[in-house]
Amino acid sequence: MTIQVGDTLPDGTLYEYYDAPEGACVVGPNAFSVSELVKGRKLVIFAVPGAFTPGCSKTHLPGFIRLADAIKAKGVADILCVAVNDAFVMGAWGREQGAGGKVRLLGDGSATWTTALGLDLDLVSKGLGVRSQRYALIAEDGVVRHLAIDVAGKIEASTAEAILELL
């Protein structure tokens, strides 16, 4: 069942890659509990089917990067981008896109959290495995206040512009 407006986000673990200081050994990505990320905060969370894919790289993520300051000026503590990719891929994509300090890119490599939301997308027949539907949500203290899920192949309801208008 797909999460709905008024529901509490399920807990889960998302992973964020970090650049280690010069000379330091990178042990692995940082793990974050969703319940801790959302506790007492207003967040915008959006998901893409995959890092480095055309629509995600040319339209979806760049819109949130471009409008990050305006979104945060509306009381949003953080903008989180989630994809069913590992944290290393998300980190590389974030660096390529210039997301640092604007949008946090978090990996849900096994689609565990995405599936708990009911927003998983089966692309096995296309060789892409299980991915996430394209969506954006506004959550306050872990409760979904708005949810926009795009029709497959479209980037409309979940754009940064659409979310900014709702804030």
| Beta strands per DSSP E along 56-100 | 78-83
Residue tagged active-site, from 34, 37, 56, 144: 56
Q: How far apart are CA 75 and CA 70, in angstroms?
A: 9
56: annotated active-site residue: yes
Is residue 61 within 8 Å of residue 49, measured between CB atoms?
no
Residues 6+ apart with CB under 8 A from 11: 33, 34, 35
Q: How far apart are CA 70 and CA 160, in angstroms?
A: 10
CA 115 to chain centroid: 14
Would you call 89 helix, strand, or coil by DSSP?
Answer: helix
The catalytic site residues sit at: 56
